[in-house]
Structure 1
Amino acid sequence: MEGKKVEQYYTRPQKLGKWEGFRIFLWNSETGQVLGRTGASWAKILLFYVIFYAVLSGFFGAMLAVFYQTLKHNEPKWQLEQSLIGSNPGLGFRPMPPESNVESTLIWYKTSNEGNYRHWTKELDKFLADYQKIGNTPNAGEHRVTCDYGMEKLPPGKVCDVDISNWIPCTSKNSYNYQKSAPCIFLKLNKIYGWKPQTFNDTESIPNDMPDDLKGHIRNEKTRNKYALNTVWVSCEGENPADVENIGPIQYIPRRGFPGYYFPFENTPGYLSPLVAVFFENPKRGVLINIECKAWAHNIIHDRFERRGSVHFELMVD
C-alpha cells in the first residue's frame, strides 16, 4: 500500500555454544567467510599490506644507501676532535683481572703457587698472540716491515712490526718472570685514527711535572741519537710515598716509550699497537703497591681522576 511504511522484523541470531561459534568463525558456509572475512576482503587487505611494506622497505633501503654514500670503509667519518673519543689517547695495561672482577685493577698472585699466577701469564699469552709472526689478519705478516728511528716514510700499505721475541725476561717462555716475584706488565696506547704525537724534540720544552729520571733519560737520548726523541715517553711511579718506597727498581723493555714511527694509525691491515713491557725488578712482597703510569707528549693531557693519558693499577706479590 502506498504511503504506508513497511515494517521489518528481525529475529535474534541463534545462540551458539563456544565451540560452535569458533567453528563458524573459522569457516562460515552460509557467507563464505574465513576468519570473519570473505575472500575478496582478505585479498584487498593482503594487497594493501604488500604495497605498504614494499614502499616502507624501499624507502628504508634508499635512505640506507644514501647514508652509506657518506661513509668511508677504511676510516671513520668523524676524526680526532670531531669524534666522540677525541684526540687524547688513553693508556692501558695488561694482564687484566678476571672477568668476574672486571672493575678491579689489582694484579695479585702468590709466587709459590704456579696455578695462582698462571691466570696472569695466560692472559698475557692471549693478548700477545697477535704480536706473533702470524697475526689474526690473513697475510698480516706481509704488511709488516722492520722500522727504526730516522727511517723515511713507510711504503703504502706497510706497517711497522713489533718484535717481542727477545724482550727478556718479559717473554712467554720465561712466564713473564712472574715465578720470580718480579713481574712484567705491558702498556699500550689506545688507537685513535689519524692521531700523531707531538713529541718532546726540544728538551727545553719538557714539562716540570715530568719525573726527574725520565728527564735525564730524554737528555741522554738527545746526546746519543736525536732521532730517538721522536717517542711518546712512559713513566711508572708509586702514587704515594709508601708506594714509591715499596715499588723497587723498574726497567722498560725494549725502550722507555712508544716510537713515533708507529703513528699515525690508519687502519692498515696487519697494524700492531706499540708496546712497552714494564719490568718490576724487586717489588716489596706482601704489600699492596699503587702504581700510576703516564704517557708523555705535548698533545697528551693528564687527568688523574678521569685517567686521561695515564693508567692506574695495583700490584701485590705474596
Structure 2
Amino acid sequence: MPEDSVVPAGRYTVKKRFRHQEHTRKNKDLPWSKKVLDLDHHKLFGRTAWGWTRIVLFYLLLYFLILLILGIWMLIFNLLFLKGDEPRWLKGAPGISTVPNSSFIKIHTSIPKEIYKITDRIDKFVDKLEASAVKKFADYNKDELWGYSTKTPCVFIKINKVIGYKPKTYDSISELPNNNQLKTTVQNFPGVDRIWLTCESSEDTVEFNYIPGPYFDASAGLKGIERIVAMQMSRLPLNSQIYITCKIWAKNLQIDMKYNGWGNVQFSLIVYAP
C-alpha cells in the first residue's frame, strides 16, 4: 500500500518502558503494610538491615568529619586570634551621649509631673553607677530634682564604653587645635591624661559648670564613673528655645558635626516659666 494512502486514525505516542519504571510500578501496587515491613524480603521501609547499616554509618562518619573540621578551626581561631581580656577586632573611637537622652528637652517649671519624667530617668542612670556617684554629683541635686525646678538643669555627658580604646590626650596648650574655647578650658583647668570637654550655647548668657570639671580623666582607662561628666546650665533664657553643642577633644577622636554622637552631642532646650 502506498504511503500517501495511509490515513492516521488518531493521535498516538510511543512509550518506552524501563526496568526501574517497572520496579516503581510494582512498589506502588504493594499494600502499605508491605512498604513498612516486608518480612518476605526482610525489609523495613524498603531497606534491608545491611542497607540501613550502611546509610547510618555513612551519616555518622559525615557528621563526625564535619564536627572534627569545625573543632579544629575553632581551636586555631581561639589560640591565634582571640584574647581573653579584649576582642580581636576593636572598634574605633567612642562616641558620646547624654542623660536624659533626648534631642529636645522641655522644662515646665510650673508642672511638676513634667519635671519628674526627666529627673526619674536621671535618677535611674545615677543609681546604676558606683556607690559614690550620688555623693559626687550631689551639688547639682540640691533640690532633689537635678536643678530642673530651679531653672538650673543638669545633663550628664557620657563617653560610650569601647573596649581597648586608648585615648591620646592633649597635654599641653601648644598641641591643641585652633579652638579658643578649648585653649581657655585647658588654661583654667591644667592637667594631663584628660579628654577635654567644651560646651557652647546659641545664647551667650548661658553658663556651664561641670563635675568633676570640663574633662574626662583618662589616666585609669576610662572606667565606670570616669566616663561621666555632670554639666549644669544656669542663666537660661526663659520661654525661648536654645541650642547646646558639646564636644570632646583628644588626638585620636574625630569630631563629625554631621552625626550626633561622633565626637559631639547636640540638643535643644527650652524652659517654660510663668
Number of the residue aligned with 2:247? 294
Amino acid paired to 2:269: L
The offset of 1:48, in angstroms, is: 1.0
Which of residues 108, 111, 116 is equivalent to 1:110? 108
2:36 & 2:114 partners in 1: Cα distance?
68
Amino acid paired to 1:72: K
Are 2:129 and 1:131 equivalent residues in the alignment? yes
1:280 & 1:109 partners in 2: Cα distance?
13
Number of the residue aligned with 2:270? 316
Amino acid paired to 1:252: Y
Which of residues 207, 212, 216 is equivalent to 1:254? 212
Task: Report how many residues are paired.
Answer: 247
1:37 & 1:96 partners in 2: Cα distance?
66
Instruction: Tell me if the contact between 1:95 and 1:120 (Cα under 8 Å) persists in the aligned partners.
Output: yes
Q: Report SS of the residue matched to 1:317.
A: strand
- Name the Cα RMSD after superposition: 3.1
Max radius of gyration: which structure?
A: 2
> Using a 3 Å threshold, how does the CA distance of structure 1 residues 13 and 59 change in structure 2: closer, same or farther?
closer
Are 2:231 and 1:278 equivalent residues in the alignment? yes
Are 2:65 and 1:55 equivalent residues in the alignment? yes
The offset of 1:300, in angstroms, is: 2.7
> Using a 3 Å threshold, how does the CA distance of structure 1 residues 188 and 26 change in structure 2: closer, same or farther?
same
Instruction: Tell me if the contact between 2:216 and 2:226 (Cα under 8 Å) persists in the aligned partners.
Output: no
2:31 & 2:119 partners in 1: Cα distance?
72
1:206 & 1:316 partners in 2: Cα distance?
33
Number of the residue aligned with 1:203? 173
Which ranges of structure 2 fall in alignment gaps of 5 or more residues?
A: 1-21
Which of residues 91, 97, 102 is equivalent to 1:92? 97
Show CA shifts across 1:85-135 (max 9, x none): 22x3322212224xxxxxxx33334333333333332322332234232xx
2:185 & 2:28 partners in 1: Cα distance?
99
2:142 & 2:59 partners in 1: Cα distance?
62
Number of the residue aligned with 1:28? 38
2:157 & 2:48 partners in 1: Cα distance?
72
> Using a 3 Å threshold, how does the CA distance of structure 1 residues 107 and 24 change in structure 2: closer, same or farther?
farther
Q: Report SS of the residue matched to 1:255.
A: coil
Amino acid paired to 1:237: E
Instruction: Tell me if the contact between 1:221 and 1:229 (Cα under 8 Å) persists in the aligned partners.
Output: no
> Using a 3 Å threshold, how does the CA distance of structure 1 residues 177 and 48 change in structure 2: closer, same or farther?
same
Which of residues 143, 146, 160 is equivalent to 1:190? 160
Number of the residue aligned with 1:244? 203
> Using a 3 Å threshold, how does the CA distance of structure 1 residues 24 and 294 change in structure 2: closer, same or farther?
same
The offset of 1:54, in angstroms, is: 1.2
Q: Report SS of the residue matched to 2:109.
A: coil
> Using a 3 Å threshold, how does the CA distance of structure 1 residues 190 and 14 change in structure 2: closer, same or farther?
closer
The offset of 1:37, in angstroms, is: 2.0
The offset of 1:44, in angstroms, is: 1.4
The offset of 1:229, in angstroms, is: 4.5
The offset of 1:304, in angstroms, is: 0.6
- 4+ runs deviating over 6 angstroms: none
Amino acid paired to 2:54: K
Number of the residue aligned with 1:121? 119
The offset of 1:183, in angstroms, is: 1.7
Which of residues 64, 68, 76 is equivalent to 2:87? 76
1:278 & 1:23 partners in 2: Cα distance?
82
Amino acid paired to 2:197: V
The offset of 1:188, in angstroms, is: 1.9
Which ranges of structure 1 fall in alignment gaps of 5 or more residues?
A: 1-9, 98-104, 134-161, 223-227, 266-270
The offset of 1:14, in angstroms, is: 9.2
Q: Report SS of the residue matched to 1:215.
A: helix
> Using a 3 Å threshold, how does the CA distance of structure 1 residues 43 and 169 change in structure 2: closer, same or farther?
same
1:60 & 1:168 partners in 2: Cα distance?
55
Q: Report SS of the residue matched to 1:219.
A: helix
Show CA shifts across 1:180-217 (max 9, x none): 33321111223341413322x33244332342xx5334
> Using a 3 Å threshold, how does the CA distance of structure 1 residues 14 and 244 change in structure 2: closer, same or farther?
closer
1:47 & 1:272 partners in 2: Cα distance?
59
